[in-house]
Amino acid sequence: MSSHVRGCCAALLAALLLTAAAPARADEADGEAVFARAAEALTAGEFGKAIDDLEHLADRGFVHPDASYDRGVAYVMRVRGGAERPGDLGRAAAGFEEALLLRPNDADAQQGLDLVRAEITRRRSRRASDSVDVRPTLDRALVRLADEQTWGWLALGASLLLAAGLILRRAPRGPARITGSVLWPTAAAAVAIFLPLCIGARHLRLHTRPGVVVVSEAWLASEPAGGARGVGVPEGALLETSERRGNEIRVRHGSNAGWLPAGSVRLLGPPS
Amino acid sequence: MARRAALQRLARGAAVASFAGALVGAASWLVGGCSGWDPTSPFERNSPEVELAVIALDAGDHRTAEEILERYLGTGECGDGGIGVPDTVKRKADGSFDLALTLFGLAESFGEPFGDEEEPPEGKSPDRDALLRAMEARCARLIIDAIAHDEAQPIELRARAFYLAGNLEFLQGRYLEAVKLYDETLRLVPGLLLEAGGDDVGRDAAWNRAIALRRANLTATPLEETTQPDGGTDGSASPDAGDQDGGAPNDAGDSGPSDEGDAGDAGPDAGDDGGVPASGEGDAGGDAASEEAATPAPTARRRRPPPSAPRRPGSGRRPGPRSARGGADLPGAGSKNRGQRRRAGHAWRTSDHAPRAGLAGDAAVVCSAPARAQKRAPRGRGQRSSRQVEVGESFTVELKALSEQGETTSDPQLRPPTGFEISGPRISTQTLAQFGGGRSTVKSGLGATWTLVGTTPGTFTIPAPSVLWAGQRVTAAPMTIEVTAATGGRSRSNPFLLPGGPPLGWPFGPAPRPSADPLEDPDVPAERELSLPTAPDDRIFLRIALDKDKAVVGEQITASFYIYARYDFEAQERHDASLADFLRVPLSQNPGTGPAAYAIAGAHLHRAAARSRGALPAARRRAVDRQLQRPLHRPSPRSPGAARVERSDHRRHRAARRRAAARLRDRRRRQLLDRGGGAAEAHRPGRVALGDGEGLRERQSAAAAARAGAQRRGVLDPETRQAIEAPGGVVGGWRSFGYVVRIEESGTIDLGKIELPFWDPATHAYRTAVAELGTVQVAPSLGPAGAGSASPQATPGREPFAGLAGPRTALGAWAPGRAPALEGPRLWLLVAAAPLLVGLIVGGRRLARRLRERRLRQETSAGALATRALREASDAEARGDAKGVAAAVERAVHAAVETATGLRSRGVLIEQLLPELEKHGVERETAERARLPAGLRRPALRPRRQRHRPRRRSVEYGPRRPVQASARCGQGAAT
């Protein structure tokens, strides 16, 4: 192959790459412009316009914690402005939850979420609605003690310690051999604990997605269509969604699992 | 020595241990004493948040304490809609109690302090304070109710919760509700002395209950007073404050030293007062009750200092609120011996009002039967004509005993004390009809009247008159009479009364019958206008009379309500007609108190009592259903020329008003004027009258902005204020509507106008009042942080989203989360790599070693040695080395023998080789053949020197030369 041909191929490849990257940059710039417009409307008190813009951003897949936060603020402003629509508090909670999902240390989002939840609780108490106890199952409680990366690194470290213990165990009699004899079963147990937790966390990351109830109260059904109505889930509650079947989505709220209409749940964050 | 040293070491160790123990003890004492840690409950501790709240509360900073506790409990802020009640309220019940206590303090801060609720507020708007107080109290009730009704909570805490709830109701002036809650408290912790096992809260609850009862009686209507003089439930299972301790030496109802002055007026006595007193003061309550019943009740709440301030959970001896672990130290109540005044088996009802000396009137004590009686005992009512008489002046004591129909009462008795002359009794029959509660009862019985004349000055207690019923005597209440010295100023009621003798008859014709029933008097004139051709009921019925049958919307209709009855009756409940479609304006100030008229209904004369009279300007067009009444006259319509207002007109009017109200600027007031239809003009009431010249004014009230509901969003129901009266029987006055709305759009908003059609009776036509509202400029709403403070009337901290940060105007730094670098198969491989590598290495080494061992075993086996020896023999033969051949063959034979039989033949003497081989199963012939080569070079049996050269594995496993092998074989054979 001559150098001339190789140069042409390289130029063609570069052109293809540029062509593919240009729309992405344009979308990103457009998204920032829409966010700026929404933030301006929000500052001016035009929360309806801000909500439209922010929802448009979300529909286009624009993901940013500040956009999610402003979306929550916009819904809160609509509630405060007296133009509340059913589910606004849940949508506000969804915005703040998404902001926290993307940026876990966002104090403003956490405060907004607390306020929204408190208002929902107060409204439920005014309606004499029963409080909903959310108790996660043991597996999820354990898996969510740390994130997947943490479990992975812990499992890897335990694996290395296991190897070191196995090596030291073969050393001549002495401290090294004692260390190895203690280390390798401990490390093996740690691997046996951390590895399933890592696998479970990965499974949840890949097969579930958080969501928030955006209706005043959703009732879990045992079957996707026409199942018996079960436990109620309050507005703004954080759910774990998994399988989707038609217009129904399987969710888990604490230890309760069931099916909800997909429209009553807002999924958070980008899909994994 | 060793033993002594051991003892010294033991003593030294004991000393060190004692010192360490002392240090630990001192440290524990310091920790426990200074930090409040309780070793008996080592795992309980005060929450730091609650500690902070308690500190703030002790410092009087209720607002800070409220915020801390609300955050601690997760209830959210207290607002117009109440407060959240999550599960933490029950789980952290002590903290919840503290929050309720804090809210109580906040509620008390609006308006007059606890106990002075009846005092007029100073310097504050009563409406606003009342609303704010109600809001805080409502939040406190939500919290405290969650604790009080949770049976999982300790009884002590529940009792305090009920007590606090009662105080909250007391604070808002709902005394009857407070009494119920105090009763709940007393049900849990009776009001006994601490020494008797009681609780301070029980005594305080009894104390406050007594005061609540008094105030409830003072603010009740006359009907309520007569039917509920005590407010308790005497005779039932529910105890009242006085019944709680029964015969206990002290009672919570009356207090100790601070209430000495209360003894005369019966004090805040929640219990019975009607027992047989040891002195004459015991009847005071009963007398007062009857006087209250006989005296027209005050129309407004009396303003007077309370008889004694109620005890509250947040002041006085209360050192502080209940902390997260400890209980509130609530003040106890004083006590007074009153146990002897209670008579077992009887429940008495009295009022605790003070007796009014000098008032001459009937007094009544109503008693019920012994509680053990199955049938309902007759109701006895004793009356005396005067409380104070002079010597020689006669007075009467009258007993009315009524029982259910079919039961008889007889043998009335009265045994006056010494110093009285008695005559009588005069017996009469009594009938009483009672209506209320959806049923009616008719009782009958007898009346007995004695005439007494006092002969000695002094204060006497006339024993209770009694009557015989069902084989037992039912008594009324004893009465106290004061007989003063004769002054001659008073006229003797009956100069011919002979002491101890019967009354003399009237010498001139039939005696007058002042107390005869007019219904039995045929000469009583009947009101013709009230007479009816037929009576719907033979005993009692109601009637409504209208002044017109037809009216247009807005036109006045006058309705009169009458009760026709042939018996004495007591209306226990009164339900006004709903008449939801009418505006009701009473025409009589004191309905039911006017003189009774008599009218013939059907064939009998009835007493027709006008209960109320009202003007009903019609609000809707609808036929009125008059069921029982039949109007006496049917006046013709007064408005023949008036245009009828159809329903659609009225709807249109209401819709127009709603539309206009919906567009009003938030928290702004526009004045609605009726006339001119021009621009709005403040504070100019217009006339959009119903009625005649006085008119009914309707305007938008600017003052309505002050109400607490101004924070609400959207259009609320208008706040209506009105002063509508009917002087001269014509309805007139003014009415204002205050709207609080929020406009949801920004820009210039045209508010439009308000139209109010009304009926003008002067012209007998409808007119329409119009008010132009103008336009308002609505600015966009502020951000979340500023919107909450838009209203000057907004209460700080009431906006649920006040703490929300503003929106973000720019995207901050954030990188999308990338997929984990180590995840999935890559991570699994890494996790498995190190142990697998180690395992491979260890396993490989072990495998190699095994292989080596196996090869070595093969090389050193007898067969291999035999083969090698034969090869060496061949080599030696090839070299011509006979000696070497012999040696190699001998080794080969020995190795072959060992391979075949396992016999180490080299160590066997040649002479024994044959039997040994045969013993190992070798045939003799073969053994013979083997013995010959093996004995070719049998070395001499001589000892050899031990080699001191160390054995090395390499040498041991390495190839051996034939000479060495031969030598070893020889050595092995020798050994």
Answer whether the bond into residue B425 is a cis peptide, omega within 30°. Answer: yes
Angle in degrees, CA B765, B770, B772, rounded to 5: 175
Residue B527 DSSP symbol: P
Pick the most confident of A107-121, B612-626, B678-692, B797-811. Answer: A107-121
Residues of A in Cβ contact (< 8 Å) with B807: 39, 42-43, 50, 69-70, 73-74
What local confidence, expressed as pLDDT, does residue B947 receive?
55
Higher pLDDT, B96 or B401: B96
Residue B618 pLDDT: 62
User: DSSP code of B79?
Assistant: B
Question: Which of A239, A222, A219, A223 is closest to A231 using CA atoms?
Answer: A219
Does B796 contact chain A (CB < 8 Å)?
no
Q: Which amino acid is at B452?
A: L
Beta carbons of B783 and A46 less than 8 Å apart: no
Radius of gyration of chain A (CA): 25
How buried is residue B440: exposed, middle or buried, by Cβ count under 10 Å (0-12/13-18/19+)?
Answer: middle
Q: Among all residues of chain B, which has the CA nearest to that of A153? A: B822
Q: Token match 């405290």: residue?
A: B144
**What are the phi and psi torsion angles at B722 (to 5°)?**
-155, 155
B834 closest CB neighbour out of A44, A126, A159: A159
| Residue pair B211/B310 in contact by the 8 Å Cβ criterion | yes
Q: Is A210 on the interface with B (CB under 8 A)?
A: no
CA distance A33 to A41: 12
B746, B807, B833: residue with CB nearest A43: B807
Residue of A nearest to B746 (CA): A46
What whole-number distance in Å separates Cα of residue B767 and Cα of residue B754?
Answer: 13
Q: Please give the distance of CA B496 from its chain centroid, rounded to a whole number.
A: 67
Percentage of residues in chain B having pLDDT higher than 70: 51
- Say yes or no for a CB contact (<8 Å) between B807 and A153: no
Cα distances from B292 to residues B218, B277, B297, B362, in angstroms, run: 9, 21, 7, 11
Which of B713, B788, B808 is facing A66, going by the closest CB pair? B808
For chain B, give the longest Cα–Cα distance.
194
CA-wise closest residue to B310 among B223, B382, B206: B206
Three-state DSSP class for B13? helix
In this predicted model, what pLDDT tens digit does every residue of A7-55 receive, in sequence order? 777 777 777 766 665 655 666 678 888 999 999 998 888 888 899 999 9
Contact present, B352 and B155 (Cβ < 8 Å): no
In chain B, the residue whose alpha carbon lies closest to the alpha carbon of A70 is: B807
Query: Is B811 part of the contact surface with chain A (CB cutoff 8 Å)?
Result: yes
Q: Which residues of B touch A44 (CB under 8 A)?
A: 780
Q: Is the pLDDT of residue A89 over 90?
A: yes
Residue B46 pLDDT grade (very low, low, confident, very high; cuts 50, 70, 90): low
Average pLDDT in chain A: 86
Chain A residue numbers touching B833 (CB-CB < 8 A): 159
Tell me whether residues A36 and B77 touch, CB distance under 8 A: no
- Cβ distance A111 to B87 less than 8 Å, yes or no, reads no
Stretch 121-160 of chain A: residues touching chain B, C-beta under 8 Å? 121-126, 131, 133, 148-149, 152-153, 155-156, 159-160
Greater confidence (B339 vs A164) lies with A164
Q: Residue B925 belongs to what H/E stretch?
A: helix B924-934
Instruction: Check residue B439 and give its pLDDT.
Output: 57
- Chain segment B387-421, per-residue pLDDT in tens: 778 887 778 887 777 776 566 777 888 888 877 88
Pick the residue from chain A with its C-alpha nearest to B811.
A66
Measured CA to CA, the distance from residue B719 to residue B715 in angstroms comes to: 11
**C-alpha torsion B424→B429→B435→B438, nearest 10:** 120
Residue B835 and residue A40: Cβ atoms within 8 Å?
no
At residue B975, does pLDDT exceed 60?
no
Across the interface, of A76, A83, A198, the residue whose CB is closest to B804 is A76
C-alpha distance from B42 to closest chain A C-alpha (Å): 28
How many residues are present in chain A? 272
Neighbour-count burial for A35-51, b at 16+ CB within 10 Å, e otherwise: bebbbebbbbbbbbbbb
Higher pLDDT, B177 or B469: B177
Please give the DSSP secondary-structure letter assigned to residue B907: G
Q: Which residues of B touch A63 (CB under 8 A)?
A: 816
Residue B496 has pLDDT above 50, yes or no: no
pLDDT at residue A110 in the model: 93
Q: Which of B394, B396, B429, B387 is nearest to B414 (CA)?
A: B396
Of chain B, the end-to-end C-alpha distance in Å amounts to 59
Nearest C-alpha neighbor of B247 from the set B339, B129, B343, B325:
B339
Which helix (H) or strand (E) segment is B440 a member of? strand B439-454
Residues of B in contact with A34 (CB under 8 A): none
Contacts of B827 in chain A (CB under 8 A): 152, 155-156, 198
Q: Which two tokens stand for residue B452?
A: 């007494």
Name the residue among A50, A77, A126 with its Cβ closest to that of B81.
Answer: A126
Q: Look at B814 and A64 and tell me if their CB atoms are within 8 Å.
A: yes
Q: Give B-chain residues touching A153 at CB under 8 angstroms.
A: 822
DSSP string, B342-374: --TT--B----PPP-TT--S----EE---TT-S
Q: Which of B744, B809, B824 sits opposite A81 (nearest CB)?
A: B744
- Residues making up chain B, counted from first to last: 975
Interchain contact, A167 vs B76, CB within 8 Å: no
Q: Tokens for B330, please give them.
A: 């609530």
Out of A79, A162, A170, whose CB is closest to B842?
A: A170
Q: Report the residue from A39, A80, A126 with minimal CB separation from B808.
A: A39
- How far is the C-alpha of B328 from the C-alpha of B19, rounded, in Å? 40
List CB contacts (< 8 A) between A116 and chain B. Answer: 801
Which A residues, 48 through 107, put their C-beta within 8 Å of a C-beta on chain B?
50, 63-67, 69-70, 73-74, 76-77, 79-83, 102-103
Dihedral angle, C-alpha B960, B964, B965, B966, nearest 10 °? 160
Highest mean pLDDT among A137-141, B291-295, B460-464: A137-141
Q: How far is B590 from chain A (nearest CA, A)?
A: 41
Kindly report the nearest CA distance between residue A110 and chain B, in angstroms.
10
For chain A, say whether B82 makes contact (Cβ under 8 Å): yes
Q: What is the SS3 assignment for B963?
A: helix
**Residues on chain B touching A74 (C-beta within 8 angstroms):** 807
Report pLDDT digits (tens) over B661-717: 454 433 333 333 333 333 333 233 333 333 333 333 333 333 333 333 333 334 456
Nearest Cβ partner of B835 from A47, A108, A166? A166
Rounded to whole angstroms, the Cα distance separating B159 from B154 reads 9
Amino acid at the residue A56: H
**Which residues of chain A neighbour B822 with C-beta distances below 8 Å?**
149, 152-153, 156
Chains A, B: CB contacts under 8 A, how many?
A: 167
* Residue keyed to tokens 């002479």: B911
Task: Report chain A's terminal Cα–Cα distance, integer Å.
Answer: 43
For residue B276, give the DSSP letter: -
SS (H, E, C) chain A: CCHHHHHHHHHHHHHHHHHHHHHHHHHHHHHHHHHHHHHHHHHCCCHHHHHHHHHHHHHCCCCCHHHHHHHHHHHHHHHHCCCCCCCHHHHHHHHHHHHHHHCCCCHHHHHHHHHHHHHHHHHHHHCCCCCCCCCCCHHHHHHCCCCHHHHHHHHHHHHHHHHHHHHHHCCCCCHHHHHHHHHHHHHHHHHHHHHHHHHHHHHHHHHCEEEEECCCEEEEECCCCCCCEEEEEECCCEEEEEEEECCEEEEEECCEEEEEEHHHEEECCCCC
Element (H, E) at B919: helix B910-919
Dist. CA B669–CA B700, nearest whole Å: 7
Rounded to whole angstroms, the Cα distance separating B103 from B115 reads 17
Q: What is the pLDDT of residues B894-912, one digit of tens each?
A: 888 888 888 888 788 877 8
B positions 715-754 inside 8 Å of A (CB): 742, 744, 746
DSSP B288: H
Q: Compare all CA atoms of chain A with the CA of B846 and give the residue at the minimum distance.
A: A170
pLDDT over threshold 90, residue A158? yes
Closest approach of chain B CAs to the CA of A89, in angstroms?
11
Model pLDDT for residues B774-800, shown as the tens digit of each residue:
888 777 655 444 443 333 333 444 678
Least confident of A125-134, B255-264, B450-459: B255-264
Q: Are B479 and B461 in contact (CB under 8 A)?
A: yes
- Quick one: DSSP state of residue B940? P
Percent of chain A exceeding pLDDT 90 equals: 43
For residue B70, give every residue at least 6 positions away whose Cβ sits within 8 Å of its Cβ, in sequence order, or none: B76, B77, B78, B83, B99
pLDDT, tens digit, for every residue of B618-666? 655 444 444 333 333 333 333 333 333 333 344 444 554 555 445 443 3
**Residues 824-843 of chain B whose Cβ lies under 8 A from any Cβ of chain A:** 824, 827, 830-835, 837-839, 842
Q: Are strands B394-404 and B379-384 parallel, antiparallel or unpaired?
A: antiparallel
Q: Give CA–CA dist A105/A103, Å, rounded.
A: 6
pLDDT band, residue B198 (cuts 50/70/90): low
Rounded to whole angstroms, how far apart are CA atoms A254 and A232? Answer: 12
The answer to whether B891 and B854 have CB atoms below 8 angstroms apart is no
Query: Which of these ranges, A37-41, A253-257, B533-537, B716-720, has the smallest mean pLDDT?
Result: B716-720
Residue in this structure with the two tokens 């308690």, named with its chain if needed = B54
